[in-house]
Amino acid sequence: MNLLKKTSFLFLIVLLGAGSFPSCSRTEPRIPFGFIELTYYPGPQERFSFFIIAEDDDGIENLAELLLYNDREGLEWLLDSEDWVHHEENGRHWIGSRSIVMAGGEVLPRGQYRVVLINKGGEKAERTLTFDAPVSPRYPYPSLQINEGRYRINSGYPVNSFIAYDQQGSIIRTMAVSNIEGNIADLSVPGNARLLALWAQDSEYHTSAVTEAISFR
């Protein structure tokens, strides 16, 4: 009888104690979408960007680590919340990096990559991405010329835009380009912009090219 009383008493303590502490969410994060993109820079030099849409019921601040694996080649990249780039657009949180590189400047292997997103509770989400950018550029490297308030571009890419930078080199706006030449004054260039670069894109293959930024003011 004493044992039964002690057992019941302990059960009551546990039951009451469970309600006296705040509960923590143990739900898994989610990765609705992601991509790996190849960007050519002057040289041309290859650089790689890797971004996902990240979701967590406890907010973006609950996310801890983002890992990218190529299991076939034994490659791994690790980003934490201090390392990744975070961008919010239309209520979606994008996180990732614009600095995925291979040792020695080697070409990033094409094929399947595995993404793992881990929150602070240790819960994980996983998604497979395919990186199938062409080994050689599909289009010649584009060019931008600016002279006396006019611009001229030479690009075979399907979509072209201008990137506007301020004096410190920070991006402040991107603007679609529909004509191969024209007046800069006719573009929606912010008043604090000092430099322009051409950003040429091939969204079908997640490939783009960015020219050197040119001063126009």
**103 lies in the same domain as 173:** no
Q: 3-14, pLDDT tens digit by residue?
A: 334 334 333 333
DSSP 169: S
Residue 163 covered by a domain: yes
Cα–Cα distance list, 163 to 70, 71, 166, 169 (Å): 32, 36, 10, 11
Domain that holds residue 127: 30-131
User: Which of 96, 131, 166 is a domain's end point?
Assistant: 131
Distances, alpha carbon 186 to alpha carbons 7, 22, 33, in Å: 81, 58, 36
Number of domains in the chain: 2
- Tell me whether residue 17 is in a domain: no
- C-alpha 197/C-alpha 160 separation (Å) is 11
Question: Which residue among 131, 165, 184 closes a domain?
Answer: 131
pLDDT tens, 60-86? Answer: 999 999 999 999 999 999 999 999 988
End residue of a domain, out of 98, 131, 164: 131
User: CATH number of the domain that 122 lies in?
Assistant: 2.60.40
pLDDT digits (tens, 9 = 90+) for 130-152: 998 888 889 999 999 999 999 99
Say whether both 48 and 95 belong to one domain: yes
Q: What's the pLDDT tens digit per position in 29-38?
A: 999 999 999 9
* Full-model pTM: 0.68
Residue type at 84 in one-letter notation: W
Contact between residue 55 and residue 29 where contact means Cβ atoms under 8 Å apart: yes
